[in-house]
Structure 1
């Protein structure tokens, strides 16, 4: 689970983020101490940073609003929550890859 938030709303409670340019369009953030995945951001999108939900102090505080890449989900996720709409971001990411 990823949470898209405004960069100003992202606050670390401990440690430091080490960033890595994982592609020409995106940067990933990791814990500088243990290497855990923390963030993902599209370089030309300054309005949002995606934060790995499992790294939150209270991961249950955020409820999912949509699913992405549903067709690529493993079998154990089939039927996970059919009420959540699917957001088609695959075309968006394919567009980034073509840059």
Structure 2
């Protein structure tokens, strides 16, 4: 999950979050076999990057949500399993549906 955190830092520092979002999606795909939360991170970033690809007229909204997801990830204490679970559940079920 350290790679996700590093990429989230990169994302909030860029003007083009889509490419970094794809990197987060890819990194979490490889980690999802080893770390349970990575599978949910994979779902979140897959949905966010698909939003850009499938609804180009909503790119600004999708980018705003990518920035928000990254900032919220960076504010997490990854040692707090309950906090991480709340983040993941919120993004998977409430935001991404």
TM-score bracket, shorter-length normalisation: under 0.3
Question: TM-score w.r.t. structure 1 length?
Answer: 0.26
Between Structure 1 and Structure 2, whose CA radius of gyration is higher?
A: 1
Bigger RCO (CA 8 Å, 6+ sep): 2
The structure with the greater share of residues assigned to strand is 1
The structure with the greater share of residues assigned to helix is 2
Question: TM-score w.r.t. structure 2 length?
Answer: 0.26
